[in-house]
Amino acid sequence: MLYIGVDLGTSAVKLLLMDEKGKIHNIVSKEYPLSFPHPGWSEQNPQDWKEQSLAGIKELIADADKSQIAGISFGGQMHGLVVLDENDEVIRPAILWNDGRTTKETDYLNEVIGKDKLSKYTANIAFAGFTAPKILWLKEQEPENFAKINKIMLPKDYLAYVLSGVHCTDYSDASGMLLLDVEHKCWSKEMLEICNVKEEQLPTLYESYEVVGNVKPEIAEELGIPSSVKVIAGAGDNAAAAVGTGTVGEGRCNISLGTSGTIFISSKKFGVDEHNALHSFDHADGYYHLMGCMLSAASCNKWWMDEILKTKEYAKEQEQIRKLGENKVFYLPYLMGERSPHNDPKARATFIGMTMDTTREDMTQAVLEGVAFGLRDSLEVARSLGIQIERTKICGGGAKSPLWKKIVANVMNLKVDVIESEEGPGYGGAILAAVGCKEFASVEEATEKLVKIVDTVEPDAELVAKYEERYQKFRQIYPTLKGLFQELN
């Protein structure tokens, strides 16, 4: 049988066709625009997701035996606020995960409602990118739109609705709304009251591998697929990527170098760190995970290459970088503010340490290292909880760089396992579809059979020591500049 995985990203939707043995038959990518109506705002039109996803599916399966397509599932950008009216029409553009307009609402939740209460209700505190602060912003700034809300959805769930007609979400994605009681897997009545939201305005909750319905007959006809094709709930992009890399069960780790950067640690036990520096979310395998998320990762390198160096030759720019662990230039990777572990939307990116002999290569190297150091900040929080990680999988666009993988391995002092398919959320979505269609008994069984390690980047003791010294300097920069960032904003 064949399974479709949909990775609904920030800049494009990436679609993947996989068979029951995990072989990828085709991959299609369709881009759509990103809108910045005001500084720090980030929006998209859900209609673009719908049009490009449907067009992409048609292209994806054009040469496939369509009668063999059994299921479709998703990995999607998290936290985005999609609001529908009583006719299921989109009320306004979706407010995305990397939108920074909700400082006031986030402060209200954390300081007035209180972090202790938020953590008790949801296992998390408020971050500017989360959905609940966006709901409060909409209530305050666009009351006429707030009054029209019949359903509140997340980006990938809007696609699931388009395909199936079902208003659904999964526990992993819902965990990032700040509306879910993560430990008990139900909507938090306290948070709904705080946000003035009724439970009937929220989608039905499913495990990521559960079937929510079948493709609607008119959609099946449009795509040329059987109406028996099942739609499976899917997962937030990081949980889906973790499935795609086999990061399920107890004590596994995955690092994602995508638009945002994450360190993802799976667990069969629920847990929260003392300061809520890491997100405590439900996982797509039915259990739990801790996650540190930085808002700008591979996007830092894209910004540096595209906007500053004006080049698309990413690999070429890295060819001359030789002196790892010896760079005098540091880069703070906070282009969009920062989430884990600082929770500071006013933080900003900066270079420091340049001299007259600083080179183009030094600056490029600093960008790569800055992202790795930022991820190390979250790893240190996990280590403070007694979590011992010796190796990690890696995925995302940045994982295609051999140099960046080497930097990550040595900054983190972890063995970095490279898997056969680096497709992350799309591959995870396809695996969830296969589990939902009973191809496998569980997500763990599916990943054990389908996810294959093809290479391991080992840390070098001498380089680890050099990077340890650099990291201890790096971690002093943000606290030193924090007050200035507040003034600059």
The 10 Å Cβ neighbour count of residue 111 is 10
Distance CA(447)–CA(461), nearest Å, equals 31
Q: Say if CB 179 and CB 188 are below 8 A apart.
A: yes
What is the C-alpha R_g of the chain? 21
3-state helix/strand/coil string of 67-132? HHEEEEEEEECCCCEEEECCCCCECCCEECCCCCCCHHHHHHHHHHHHHHHHHHHHCCCCCCCCHH
237 classed as catalytic: yes
Q: Locate all alpha helices (DSSP H) within 296-359, ordered by sequence.
A: 298-302, 314-318
Q: Which two tokens stand for residue 354?
A: 């340049």
DSSP letter for each residue of 161-206: HHHHS--EEEHHHHGGGT-EETTTTEE-HHHHHHTT--GGGSPEEE
CA distances from 455 to 24, 238, 352, 392 (A): 19, 22, 34, 12
Could you count the other beta carbons within 10 Å of the beta carbon of residue 325? Answer: 18
Catalytic residue among 237, 282, 377, 417: 237
78 labeled binding residue? yes
d(CA 446, CA 208): 14
Q: Is 79 annotated as a binding residue?
A: yes
| Burial class of 144 by CB neighbour count within 10 A (0 to 12, 13 to 18, 19+) | exposed
| Amino acid of residue 40 | G
Instruction: Report the DSSP beta bridge partners of residue 264.
Output: 254, 291
Angle between helical axes of 425-436 and 443-450 (0-180°, round to 10): 120
Letter string b/e over residues 82-109, b meaning 16 or more CB atoms within 10 A of that residue's CB: bbbeeeeebbbbbbbbbbbbbbebbebb
- Quick one: tokens of 418? 């490279």
Token digits of residue 225: 């697929």
Q: What are the residue numbers of the active site?
A: 237
Annotated binding site for substrate: 78-79
Annotated binding site: 78-79
